[in-house]
């Protein structure tokens, strides 16, 4: 991605927090009025689970971005987990335990009630899968896992240090933590990511973690990057 004459707003993990996403986007629109050139919003993944309105978040991201902006949505591990359940590759309970319950509630589905009505686990799964709109599933399947520029990497969780970007494993890009944070290996580019919740945005070396746990704090964070300069924005400023 060419970031010349471009202002980029990277947004941390939304996790079903539709109101916070709307509030943050409004602040991004106001902030961007001072800039000419391209304007890009990069969503860092994890749109579903945990928060109350996963369905509305997906619908919002499928709709056109704010006027004058391009929006790029990356995959997070929670989208991958949801797809794995819908495809029959992950049992229901592990997904529900990491926030899938709240996602299903947002689609008007109560798994416990379905279990009481139908008993059969296969029947319950079939009815759940029938409720999720095909367009939402298709949207999640198309999400890229990483966007790179000359100086920046935008990714959900991080990268494996010492491995070329083109050789990175998708599982690392979506899930890595300790190996990414504790390495002494110098990163070649700034890595802007979410996945690991921090009380305040954390800038450690060339790692920029902007996941401020919106689903439990109400604070959804973005970082504006133009050239070599950055500025933080929050849904609760």
For 112-159, the pLDDT digits (tens) are 888 887 777 899 999 999 999 999 999 999 999 999 999 999 999 999
Give the pLDDT score at 228.
82
Give the C-alpha separation, 130 to 135, whole Å. Answer: 12
Domains identified in the chain and CATH numbers: 6-76+145-234 (3.60.21.10), 81-138 (no CATH)
CB atoms within 10 A of CB 37: 11
Of all helices (H) and strands (E), which one includes residue 208? Answer: strand 207-209
pLDDT digits (tens, 9 = 90+) for 21-38: 999 999 999 999 999 999
Q: What is the DSSP string of 113-131?
A: HHHHHH--HHHHHHHHHHH
Q: What angle do CA 162, 45, 27 make, to 5 degrees?
A: 115
Give the pLDDT score at 87.
98
- 91 secondary structure, DSSP code: -
Phi, psi of 110 (to 5 degrees): -115, 105
């Amino acid at each position: 991605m060419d970031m010349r004459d471009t202002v980029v707003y990277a947004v941390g993990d939304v996790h079903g927090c539709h109101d916070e996403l709307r509030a943050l986007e409004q602040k991004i629109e106001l902030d961007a009025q001072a800039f000419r050139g391209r304007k890009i919003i990069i969503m860092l993944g994890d749109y579903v689970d945990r928060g109350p309105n996963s369905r509305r978040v997906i619908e919002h991201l499928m709709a056109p971005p704010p006027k004058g902006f391009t929006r790029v949505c990356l995959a997070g591990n929670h989208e991958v987990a949801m797809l794995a359940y819908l495809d029959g590759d992950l049992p229901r309970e592990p997904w529900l335990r990491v926030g899938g319950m709240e996602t299903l509630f947002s689609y008007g589905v109560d798994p416990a009630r379905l279990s009481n009505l139908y008993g059969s686990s296969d029947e319950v799964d079939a009815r759940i899968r029938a409720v999720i709109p095909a367009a939402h599933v298709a949207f999640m399947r198309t999400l890229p896992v990483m966007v790179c520029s000359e100086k920046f990497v935008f990714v959900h969780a991080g990268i494996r240090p010492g491995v070329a970007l083109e050789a990175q494993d998708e599982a690392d890009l979506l899930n890595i933590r300790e190996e990414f944070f504790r390495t002494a290996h110098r990163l070649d580019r700034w890595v802007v990511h979410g996945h690991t919740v921090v009380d305040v945005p954390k800038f450690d070396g060339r790692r920029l973690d902007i996941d401020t746990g919106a689903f439990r704090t109400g604070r959804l964070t973005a970082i504006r990057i133009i050239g070599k300069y950055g500025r933080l924005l929050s849904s609760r400023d």
